[in-house]
Amino acid sequence: MSVRVIDAPTDSALARRFGLERTLTLVARLREVGILLVLLAVVAIVTIQAPLFFSVSNFEQILLNVSLIAIVAVGQTTVVLTRNVDLSVGSMVGLVAFATGDLLKENTLGVPGAIAVGCLLGLGLGAFNGLLVAVAKVPAIVATLGTLYVYRGLDFLVAGGKQVSAIDLPRDYLGIATSSVLGIPTLIVAAALIALVAAYLLRNSGAGRELYAIGSNPAAAEVVGIPTHRLIFGAFVVCGLCAGIAGVLWGSRFGSVNALAASGLELQVIAAVVVGGVNIFGGSGTVIGAVLGAILLATIENALRILHLSEFWLLAIDGAIILLAVGTDAAIRGYFQRILTRTGRR
């Protein structure tokens, strides 16, 4: 319907709206700061209850536990930003972990060779997801639910009931997880590097900008000629690669791999992404937020163990945090939306 607007907003209304705009931007940035504050609060409370919690070695332990999840969360964030989701990440990590372990056991390619093959396998699995979603147009949630089972099935097929144990694995491979760079465990450094590079690329590259545009307004992205399907395919490939990297590191971190490795990981990863402020409907959020989300969840898990609380509490609190994070988001969005509407934006 074509309509006639009678009065333009007054200057004071405009000024108020601009003030609001700044607040909105601030809130968006504060999202990461908010998670940090919650994290600090958790640390403070648990430290008072159990001083043992506050030690360098414990924090190192938490970060080690987070490192692999964080790497997968980086890939997942890339996919979620485009309004998609990858449910198959746990199976991809598991399949890559076992395949890499198997190669290392035979030790025909050497450690670097096995790692390269593992990463490429992850990339390929991601590309297959990407084909299903971007080319065959299967909704991501269905496509990756399918590959969750397919990839896990392949894992079982390859494993055939066996497992790769620490004694089968080369010493220098197992050494990756225990080594450190400048006193910081290598796994933590690797995760931090991957997250920082991804954050930088998403923020500053043309393709990164376009990924956000696709998630934020697909129709507008299409109209400006953004190759939407190619980019969504790319996001799934990146996600597969991240799962692949986590997969090749899995055996080193845990010493043994069986066909059930990393099952259920997808839910932990999605929880981290959502708690980290990445909009599940795409278009907003950052990799840094997702990593902070993973750290927060792992810290709480660690704290509960130290406080000797039961597993039930762990699950319940994780759930409550997800609801809280999403609820806060919705409330803030709704609040500002109302104010914007009131000041006359159509």
Partner 1 sequence: MTEISPVLQLTGISKRFGAVQALIDVDLDLIANEVHALVGENGAGKSTLVKILAGIHRPDAGHLELDGHELVLSGPAAARHLGIAVIHQHPNLFPDLTVAENVFAGRLPRNRVRGVDWGRLNRAAEKLFANLGVKQRVSVPVRGLSVADQQLVEIAKAFSLDARVLVMDEPTAALSGREVQRLFTIIRQLRGRGVAILFVDHRMEEVFEIADRVSVLRDGRHVITAPISELTPADAIRHMVGRRLETLFPKGQAPIGEVALEVRGLSRSGVFADVSFQVRRGEIVGLAGLVGAGRTEVARVLFGIDHADAGEILVTGKHADIKSPTDAMRLGIVYVPEDRHEQGLVLDFSISANVSLPIVHRLSRLLMIDRAQEGRLAADYSKQLQVRSTGVNQAASGLSGGNQQKVVIAKWLATKPTILLLDEPTQGVDIGAKAEVHRIISQLAAQGMAIVLISSELLEVLGMADRIVVLHEGRVAAEFDRDEASQERIMAAATGQAEA
Among 163, 222, 306, 322, binds partner 1 (CB under 8 A): 222
**Residue 224 makes contact with partner 1 by CB under 8 A:** yes
Q: Can you tell me whether residue 180 is helix, strand or coil?
A: strand
Is residue 220 a contact residue for partner 1 (CB under 8 A)? yes
Considering only the stretches 18-26, 63-71, 80-88, 262-270, report the one whose residues sit in contact with partner 1 under the rule CB under 8 A. 18-26
Half-sphere exposure in the Cβ direction for 174 (13 Å, CA): 13
Q: How far is the CB of 42 from partner 1 (least distance, A)?
A: 30
216 binds partner 1 (CB under 8 A): yes
* Residue placing its CB nearer to partner 1 in the complex, 12 or 310: 12
**66's tokens:** 């987070």
Provide the token pair at 34: 């908010």
CB of 207 to partner 1, least distance (A): 7
Across the strands, what pairs with 287? none
Kindly tell me which residue out of 160, 182, 206, 310 binds partner 1, with binding defined by CB under 8 A: 206
Is 108 near partner 1 (CB under 8 A)? no
Q: Are 293 and 34 in contact (CB under 8 A)?
A: no
Eight-class DSSP state of 338: H
The residue among 253, 254, 257, 269 whose CA lies nearest residue 90 is 269
- Among 57, 137, 223, 310, the residue binding partner 1 under the rule CB under 8 A is 223
For partner 1, which residue of 137, 171, 308, 346 counts as binding (CB under 8 A)? 346
Q: How far apart are CA 280 and CA 140, in angstroms?
A: 13
44-47: which pairs have CB atoms within 8 A and are 24 or more residues apart? 46/303, 46/306, 46/307
- Total residues in contact with partner 1, by rule CB under 8 A: 43
Residue 100 vs residues 44, 237, 260: alpha-carbon distances, Å: 40, 19, 15
Minimum CB–partner distance for residue 275 and partner 1 (Å): 20
User: Residue 76: which of 231, 251, 218, 267 has the closest Cα?
Assistant: 267
Question: Tokens 């991957």 map to which residue?
Answer: 194
Considering the complex, state which of residue 1 and residue 167 has its C-beta at the smaller distance from partner 1.
Answer: 1
Considering only residues 29, 209, 305, 338, which one is a binding residue for partner 1 as defined by CB under 8 A? 209
103 close to 109: Cβ distance less than 8 angstroms: yes
Give yes or no for residue 284 binding partner 1 (CB under 8 A): yes
Determine which residue in the list 128, 151, 212, 233 makes contact with partner 1, applying CB under 8 A.
212
The encoded tokens of residue 184 equal 């910081």
| Complex with partner 1: residue 64 or 207, whichever CB lies closer | 207
Closer of 58 and 343 to partner 1 (Cβ): 343
Which window, 65-73, 99-107, 222-230, 258-266, contacts partner 1 (CB under 8 A)?
222-230
- Beta-bridge partners for 164: 257
Q: Which residues bind partner 1 (CB under 8 A)?
A: 1-9, 14, 17-18, 20-22, 24-25, 201, 204-207, 209-210, 212-213, 216-217, 219-227, 283-284, 340, 344-346
